[in-house]
Amino acid sequence: MKVLQIESRDGSRLYGAMVKKQAEIRRGGRGTFSRAGARWTHVRYKGSIAMKRAGDALSARIKSPNDGDEARLLSSFLGWLDRHFGKRLQSINIQYH
Mean pLDDT (the chain) is: 92
In which band, very low, low, confident or very high, does the pLDDT at 13 lie, cut at 50, 70 and 90?
confident
Pairing, β 48-54 against β 33-36? unpaired
Residue 29 has a CB neighbour count (10 Å cut-off) of: 6
Please give the residue range of the domain that contains residue 21.
Answer: 2-96
Q: How far is CA 9 from the centre of its chain?
A: 16
- For the stretch 41-79, pLDDT in tens is 999 999 999 999 877 789 999 999 999 999 999 999 999
The candidate with the shortest Cα–Cα distance to 31, out of 19, 43, 40, is 43
Question: How would you class 18 by CB atoms within 10 Å of its CB: exposed for 0-12, middle for 13-18, buried for 19 or more?
Answer: buried
CATH number, domain with residue 27: 3.30.310
Model-level pTM?
0.91
